[in-house]
Amino acid sequence: MKSLRAILTPAELPGLRQSDLADRLCVVFDVLRATSTFITALHHGANRIIPVSDIAEALAWREKAPQALLAGERHGVRISADLTGGIEFDLGNSPREFTPEVVCGRTIVSTTTNGTLALNACAGAAVVLAGSFLNLTATADFIRHHPAEEVILVCAGTGSSAALEDVLAAGALAHRLASPSAGFKLADSAAIAWRTFLSGEASVAEALSTTDNGRRLLGIPDLRADVAFCGQFDCYPLVARQTAAGLQRFAPT
Ligand code: MLT
């Protein structure tokens, strides 16, 4: 029987990074907003997203690949020239910025506070996916047909703390996967996420607006619409998979 467990806080990421993930499938959730944004960008035709851990790494990519778009946030807002020694990033981390006109065919290099770190912590896994409410069912369908013995739901969190929106999305995926016929054994960590999701299922969009991150974004006029945007279920039916080239839309062969 396959097993399902969850990483609920960023404090668990160093342990995950050091563990043997060779047979594992990891799904990373940073609902507000990194993974929601990357999935939106891929839906709108971005060629690939390269998640990097810090600003210096993003700037090094600008040297290597001058046509790549630089994206990301610090304290929620686009990285500005005063943080980089003079280079303005092209995009922030709002999914609504990643329109087809801006991203179609482009490589995007992104650094965010938690999301890109969580994706990179899973680098040793057999499969790494980016998950969100926006692509929940497509992600569940992919996992159901994948042979990995253990699936790890990785909640990116906020700073060093757990983020409720990530746990809700991990729980929603656990709920999609762990029907009796699907044959998943849930660790306590995955059961916590599942029960959290079931307790707020009727109103995920409303629940997002009460989270620490949701309230922070609602307090920034240009970003407040991101909260409702990221709470939509299944509007982008794609699987976002990390490859050697970066995060890409998975196309079955
Ligand atoms: C993160 O990676 O921590 C988030 O996506 C932050 C944000 O979008 O504001």
Residue 1 has a pLDDT of: 83
Please check whether residue 109 is in contact with residue 55, taking contact to mean a CB–CB distance below 8 angstroms. no
Q: What's the gap in Å between 1 CA and the centre of ligand 1? A: 34
CB-based pocket (< 6 A), ligand 1: 30, 32-34, 73, 76, 93, 112-115
Max CA distance (Å), the chain: 56
Query: Exposed e or buried b for every residue in 182-217, given b needs 16+ CB within 10 A?
Result: eebebeebbbbbbebbeebeeebeebbbebebbeeb
Q: What's the gap in Å between 92 CA and the centre of ligand 1? A: 10
Q: Whose CA is nearest to atom 8 of ligand 1?
A: 33
Q: What is the distance between the alpha carbons of residues 121 and 115, in angstroms, rounded to a whole number? A: 10
Each residue's pLDDT tens digit, 123-141: 999 999 999 999 999 999 9
Sign of CA dihedral 197, 204, 6, 151: positive
Does domain 2-250 fall under CATH 3.90.1560.10? My reply is: yes
pTM equals 0.96
Domain boundaries in the chain? 2-250
Which of 40, 49, 73, 155 for a ligand 1 pocket mutation test, highest count of atoms within 8 Å of Cβ?
73
Query: pLDDT tens digits for the chain (253 residues)?
Result: 889 999 999 999 999 999 999 999 999 999 999 999 999 999 999 999 999 999 999 999 999 999 999 999 999 999 999 999 999 999 999 999 999 999 999 999 999 999 999 999 999 999 999 999 999 999 999 999 999 999 999 999 999 999 999 999 999 999 999 875 667 899 999 999 999 999 876 689 899 999 999 999 999 999 999 999 999 999 999 999 999 999 999 976 6
Q: Whose CA is nearest to atom 9 of ligand 1?
A: 76
Distances (CA, A) of 61 to 10, 81, 133, 148: 26, 16, 30, 33
Q: Where do we find the tokens 């939106």?
A: 40
Q: What's the gap in Å between 109 CA and the centre of ligand 1? A: 15
User: Which atom of ligand 1 is nearest the CA belonging to 223?
Assistant: 9
Which of 55, 78, 93 for a ligand 1 pocket mutation test, highest count of atoms within 8 Å of Cβ?
93
The upper half-sphere exposure of residue 80, i.e. CA atoms within 13 Å in the direction of its Cβ, equals 4
Which of 9, 31, 33 for a ligand 1 pocket mutation test, highest count of atoms within 8 Å of Cβ?
33
